[in-house]
Chain A
Amino acid sequence: MFEWVTAIFTSLPLAVQTMTLIILKIVAISLPLMLCVAYLTYAERKIIGYMQVRLGPNRVGPKGWLQPIADAVKLMFKEIIVPTGSNKYLFLISPVLSIAPALAAWAVIPFSDGMALANINAGLLYLLAVTSVGVYGVIIAGWASNSKYALLGAMRSAAQIVAYEIAMGFALVGVLMAAGSLNLGDIVRAQSGSVIHWFWLPLLPLFIIYFISGVAETNRAPFDVAEGESEIVAGFHVEYSGMAFAVFFLAEYANMILIAALTSIMFLGGWLSPLQGILPEYIFTIPVLGAMLGGGMHWLLIKISFILFHFLWLRATFPRYRYDQIMRLGWKVFIPITIVWLLVIGLMVLGRVGPWWNAA
Chain B
Amino acid sequence: MGIEKFVFYFFALVMVASATMVITVRNPVQAALFLVLTFFSSAIIWMILEAEFLAIALVLVYVGAVMVLFLFVVMMLDINIARLREGFIRYLPFGAVIAVVMAGMLISMVGSKNFGLAKFAEPVRHVANYNNTRELGLVLYTKYVYPFEIAAVILLVAIVAAIALTLRRRPTTKYQKPEEQIAVKRDDRVRLVSMNAEQKK
Interface residues of A (CB under 8 A from B): 15, 87, 90, 120-122, 125-126, 128-130, 132-133, 135-136, 139-140, 143, 151, 154-155, 158-159, 161-162, 165, 182, 324-325, 328
What distance in Å separates the Cβ of B40 from its nearest Cβ neighbour in chain A?
A: 8
Asked whether A122 lies within 8 Å of B53 as measured between CB atoms, the reply is yes
In chain A, what residue has the closest Cβ to B67? A136
Report, nearest first, the 10 A-B pairs whose CB atoms are least far apart. A132-B64, A129-B60, A129-B59, A125-B56, A129-B56, A121-B131, A122-B133, A143-B75, A122-B52, A158-B72
How would residues 43 to 68 of chain B score, 1 for a CB under 8 Å from any chain A CB and 0 otherwise? 00000000011001101100111001
If A121-B133, A136-B36, A158-B72 touch, does A165 touch B176 (CB 8 Å cutoff)? Answer: no
* Cα of A182 to Cα of B60 in the assembled complex, Å: 15
Q: What chain B residues lie within 8 Å of A159 (beta carbons)?
A: 72
Asked whether A122 lies within 8 Å of B56 as measured between CB atoms, the reply is yes
Q: Does chain A have a CB within 8 A of B139? A: no
Asked whether A324 lies within 8 Å of B68 as measured between CB atoms, the reply is no
* Cα of A165 to Cα of B61 in the assembled complex, Å: 11
Asked whether B133 lies within 8 Å of A135 as measured between CB atoms, the reply is no
* Cα of A215 to Cα of B3 in the assembled complex, Å: 39
Name A's interface SS: helix
What distance in Å separates the Cβ of B166 from its nearest Cβ neighbour in chain A?
A: 14
Name B33's contact: one of A126, A130, A140 (CB within 8 Å).
Answer: A140
Q: What chain A residues lie within 8 Å of B71 (beta carbons)?
A: 139, 143, 158
Q: What chain B residues lie within 8 Å of A328 (beta carbons)?
A: 178
Q: Does chain A have a CB within 8 A of B132? A: yes
How would residues 101 to 143 of chain B score, 1 for a CB under 8 Å from any chain A CB and 0 otherwise? 0000000000000000000000000000101111000000000
Q: What chain A residues lie within 8 Å of B59 (beta carbons)?
A: 129-130, 132-133
Asked whether A162 lies within 8 Å of B65 as measured between CB atoms, the reply is yes
What distance in Å separates the Cβ of B188 from its nearest Cβ neighbour in chain A?
A: 20
* Cα of A182 to Cα of B134 in the assembled complex, Å: 10
Asked whether A125 lies within 8 Å of B53 as measured between CB atoms, the reply is yes
In chain A, what residue has the closest Cβ to B3? A15
Q: What chain A residues lie within 8 Å of B129 (beta carbons)?
A: 121
What distance in Å separates the Cβ of B165 from its nearest Cβ neighbour in chain A?
A: 18
In chain B, what residue has the closest Cβ to A324? B176
* Cα of A165 to Cα of B178 in the assembled complex, Å: 23
Name B60's contact: one of A125, A154, A161, A325 (CB within 8 Å).
Answer: A125
If A122-B53, A128-B60, A325-B178 touch, does A162 touch B68 (CB 8 Å cutoff)? Answer: yes
What distance in Å separates the Cβ of B69 from its nearest Cβ neighbour in chain A?
A: 7
Asked whether B64 lies within 8 Å of A165 as measured between CB atoms, the reply is yes
Asked whether A139 lies within 8 Å of B132 as measured between CB atoms, the reply is no
* Cα of A139 to Cα of B76 in the assembled complex, Å: 12
Q: Does chain A have a CB within 8 A of B12? A: no
* Cα of A73 to Cα of B53 in the assembled complex, Å: 43
Q: Does chain A have a CB within 8 A of B19? A: no
Asked whether A122 lies within 8 Å of B36 as measured between CB atoms, the reply is no
What distance in Å separates the Cβ of B168 from its nearest Cβ neighbour in chain A?
A: 18
Q: What chain A residues lie within 8 Å of B65 (beta carbons)?
A: 132, 162, 165
Add 5 more A-B contacts to A135-B68, A143-B29 (CB < 8 A): A125-B60, A139-B75, A161-B68, A162-B68, A328-B178
* Cα of A151 to Cα of B72 in the assembled complex, Å: 10
Q: What chain A residues lie within 8 Å of B131 (beta carbons)?
A: 121
6 contacts between A and B (CB under 8 A): A15-B3, A122-B53, A122-B133, A132-B60, A151-B75, A158-B71
Give the one of A90, A125, A128 with max B CB within 10 A: A125
